[in-house]
Amino acid sequence: MHDLFIILLSFIPALINVGLFIYAFYFLKRGALVNAFALLVFSCAIWQISDSLIRFTDDIETASLIYRVLSFGVLFLLPSSLHFSLLYIDKFNKNNPSFLLTILYLPSILFYLFNLFSLPKGYFISDEFWHFMYVPSGAIDNLMLIWLGILAIFTSIILLTYCYKIKNADKNKYKGALLLSIGFTIPAFIGIFTQVIFPLFFNTEEIPITTTFITVFSISAIYSLVKFKYNLFGFSPYSISEKIFDSISEGILITDVDGMIRYCNKSFYKNFGYKEAEILNSPKLKFMVNKESAIQFKSYLLNSSSLNNKNIELQIYHKNGELKDVLINRQPYHSITNEIIGVISLMLDITPLKEKEQELYKIQKQLLLNQKIAGIGFISLNLKTNEIKTSEVTKKIVGMDKSGEVITIQSINKIIHPDDFESVIFGIKQAIENQMPYKIEHRIINKKTNEIRWIRANAELLFDGENNPTELIGSIIDITKDKNYERDYLIAMLKGEETEKTRIAQELHDGIAQYLAAINMNLNGIKENIPTTTLDYFNKIQKLVIQTLNETRNISHHLIPKEIELGLEIALNHLSERYQDKNSITINIKFIHINEITIPQFTKFNLYRISQEFVNNTFKYAHAKNVLIEFTADKNKLYFTLQDDGKGFEINNETDNGIGIINIKQRVKAIGGILHMESNPNQGTKFEIILNDV
């Protein structure tokens, strides 16, 4: 409804000027003055229509096209105003009119051509209130603004000076000139300050309200023409150009200062089903307006002390009882002494728009219900103001169920889990800098229950006309159950693997190893009976049997590291000794402030397996000389670090492909840890596992 309001701010005045153009062009006696006035109101209407279309469109490129094509409205308005003013005071050079017309209109023609070919550097920006606003930039725009400002000032000076000169002469002519001067000067200086001085000298955005106020001049001019210049007929609610008003599709209602209805056009009668005798000269508002709106409507019509247009939206009954939604735009009219004697109201039937609005509201309500059922929350971040908007589902997910409680930038760091905060901020920055979608899974701390929850966030960037990101908008969903299921599955899978490894190790130890040991004993028993000629061959066979036996025992021990039952540090030291005995590699084990009693056996066992995998990969691929395994405690966190000085690798290329790293990731996830990996070619590798201290 806000969008409709700002559109109608310029569209309804445009309708008035269209009506005035029709009146001047077709019903007044043709001449230079009337022609200039017709061009003036036509230019004014085009400018207002241009503003309305720009506020209506959702596309900044379309807004720019509309501005370029229809910019002749504002460019010809002020030259035609000065032209009209010179004719009005009889100062137009009739001996050489072509020269003066060239001076007046040639710059506007050139500026219009510049706009058509997009030569000015001005651009449109999105605006929360006005939808789109034009920001002048560059020499051409500045010259154009200065040119229009000079014309406006010059026209005002001419009219005011003329009023001063004739104030003691013809009374009616003075009143007409004064009305014309005031009617032009007020919107002119509003436009000069809001759309010329402020943008040029204070580097602010334009405030596009001149299109609304300029209609005051149009109505003042037509009043002055018919009353004080041509004297065709007196001005009254009954005779005010009924042909113009009846041609307008919107209803027109004229009331006097006492609230009595004095005039309605044909569209009003058609829209609301009343006859002229039922409405005129009586305060019939109470029969047309429902009780809730009656007082408000009456106050609106009678509060005519201000010259500014005002809009109000009310519900009015049709004669058949049907309730209609109406948008009303009010403008006062004056007596020859410039006193307000009544109000002209344009009444636009917006019932179809309201019905569409209700349909959209139902769709939005259904969408919110579907999101609520699916547990999907909405969230948006304004990148300029840092304002955060959320749905009720989002508030529920993060534990903010209190009415009116909102998520702010200040409270967001208390919601996101401290261990995930940096990665979330980094992800947002990456999305903005690279203009890419934002996707992340991270933990939050529910404010209501204080429990840790997992969420999945997906968001996209919105951009302005300059392709600058303005808003990050997306959804969040609670995936805690999925994460718990995934972790339970990993734990079950890893435990299943260890059970199978235990069974295989037992089979190797109790089966194959025993058979090999028996074979070796039998070989020792018959060794004395072996002929000398075949003894060397016999010894080689026995050596292979012994090697196979030792390898079988090593595999069995690797599958079931019994040292882990004595403690993680002892097990890691045994692992270090086995690798250092066979290879030219140094493995340092450091435990700092670690109390192993508080660490679950499942966690210690998986940390041992992770260490095995890391050392094995280092030995096979990294060709490192030194390995560090460090386990430290700091406040409420445990840090398990694995580091080597090997050849390293590109994490982005190999992270998802290496089976060893995949196994490490699964084990870290199973024990509820967070894995940070650092590696670059020829710079070694570092894995850091962060655990909550138990």
In a domain, 492, yes or no: no
- Asked whether residue 203 is domain-assigned, the answer is yes
Question: Is 558 within the bounds of a domain?
Answer: no
Are 222 and 233 contacting, i.e. CB atoms less than 8 angstroms apart? no
Sheet holding 388-390, edge to edge: 388-390, 376-382, 469-478, 452-463, 438-445
When pLDDT is cut at 50, 70 and 90, the band that residue 628 belongs to is: very high
pLDDT at 654 over 60: no
Asked whether residue 509 is domain-assigned, the answer is no
Considering only residues 694 and 662, tell me which one the structure prediction assigns the higher pLDDT: 662
Residue 235: pLDDT over 50: no
φ, ψ (nearest 5 deg) of residue 253: -125, 125
Judgement on whether residues 210 and 89 belong to the same structural domain of the protein: yes
Residues 409 and 355 in one domain: no
Is residue 403 very low, low, confident or very high in pLDDT (cuts 50, 70, 90)?
low
> What is the pLDDT at residue 544?
84
- Between 464 and 95, the more confident residue is 464
Angle at 310 between CA 304 and CA 313, to 5 degrees: 115
| Three-point CA angle 461, 466, 470, nearest 5° | 30
Read off φ and ψ for residue 691, nearest 5 degrees. -125, 145
* Residues 616 and 668 both lie in one domain: yes
Task: Report the pLDDT value the prediction gives residue 661, as an integer from 0 to 100.
Answer: 83
Considering 110-114, 445-449, 483-487, the range whose residues carry the highest mean pLDDT is 110-114
Residue 687: predicted pLDDT: 93
Cα separation, 543 vs 546, in Å, equals 5
Structure tokens at 669: 């996830």
Q: Answer yes or no: is 158 within a domain.
A: yes
Specify the pLDDT at position 141: 81
The answer to whether residues 546 and 520 touch, using CB atoms and an 8 Å cutoff, is: yes
Q: What does residue 30 show for φ and ψ, rounded to 5 degrees?
A: -70, 145
Query: Can you tell me the distance from the alpha carbon of 11 to that of 56, in angstroms, rounded to the nearest whole number?
Result: 10
CA 7/CA 9 separation, integer angstroms: 5
CATH code for the domain of 131: 1.20.1070.10
Token representation of residue 304: 């005519």
Lowest-pLDDT range of 316-320, 525-529, 640-644: 525-529
Is residue 171's pLDDT more than 70?
Answer: no
Regarding whether 408 and 346 lie in a shared domain, the answer is no
Measured torsion, CA atoms of residues 395, 396, 398, 402, in degrees rounded to the nearest 10: 60
Is residue 240 scored above 90 in pLDDT?
no
Question: Residue 86: pLDDT band by 50, 70, 90 thresholds?
Answer: confident
List the structure tokens of 621. Answer: 């691929």
User: Where a domain ends, among 345, 373, 401?
Assistant: 373
In this predicted structure, what is the pLDDT of residue 643? 93
Token readout for 586 is 């140094």
Could you please report the per-residue DSSP string of 373-412?
Answer: HHTEEEEEEETTT--EEE-HHHHHHHT--STT----HHHH
Quick one: average pLDDT of 96-102? 78
Reported as a single tens digit per residue, the pLDDT across 630-639 is 999 887 788 9
Please answer whether residues 576 and 561 qualify as being in contact, where contact means their C-beta atoms are separated by less than 8 angstroms: no
My answer on whether 325 and 379 are in the same domain is: no
Given 231, 249, 282, which residue is the final one in a domain?
A: 231
Range of the domain at 47: 1-231
Using DSSP, how many helices (H) and how many strands (E) does the chain show? 26, 17
Q: At residue 477, what are phi and psi to the nearest 5 degrees?
A: -140, 140
Most confident among 97-111, 167-181, 274-288, 307-321 (mean pLDDT): 97-111
Which helix (DSSP H) or strand (DSSP E) does residue 544 occupy? helix 535-559
The domain boundary, picked from 182, 199, 231, lies at: 231
Residue 249 has pLDDT above 50, yes or no: yes
Instruction: Write out pLDDT tens, residues 329-358.
Output: 877 777 656 777 777 888 888 888 888 888
Please check whether residues 194 and 251 belong to one and the same domain. no
Q: Are residues 665 and 568 in the same domain?
A: yes
Q: What is the pLDDT of residue 298?
A: 61
Q: Both 317 and 423 in a single domain? A: no
Q: Is there a single domain that holds both residue 110 and residue 99?
A: yes
What residues pair up with 462 in beta bridges, in sequence order?
471
Question: In this predicted structure, what is the pLDDT of residue 627?
Answer: 92
The CATH number of the domain holding residue 635 is: 3.30.565.10
Of 173-182, 207-216, 299-308, 536-545, least confident by mean pLDDT is: 299-308
Q: Identify the top-confidence range among 12-21, 114-123, 289-298.
A: 12-21
Angle between helices 2-26 and 215-224 (to 10 degrees): 20
246 and 179 part of one domain: no
97 is a domain residue: yes
Cα separation, 690 vs 694, in Å, equals: 12
Residue at 313 is within a domain: yes
- Based on the structure, what is the number of domains in the chain? 4
Percentage of the chain modeled with pLDDT above 90? 3
Q: Are residues 393 and 369 in the same domain?
A: no
Same domain, 692 and 677: yes
Q: Average pLDDT in the 584-588 region?
A: 85
The closest of 544, 606, 528 to 571, measured between CA atoms, is: 606
pLDDT in tens, 30-50: 677 778 888 888 888 888 888
Q: Which of 378-382, 451-455, 495-499 has the lowest mean pLDDT?
A: 495-499
Radius of gyration of the chain (CA): 43
**What CATH number did the domain enclosing 427 receive?**
3.30.450.20
Assigned domain for 516 exists: no
Q: What is the pLDDT of residue 233?
A: 27
| pLDDT given at position 629 | 93
pLDDT score at 642: 93
Q: How many CA atoms lie within 13 A of 181 on its CB side?
A: 20
- Residue 617 in tokens: 């990969």
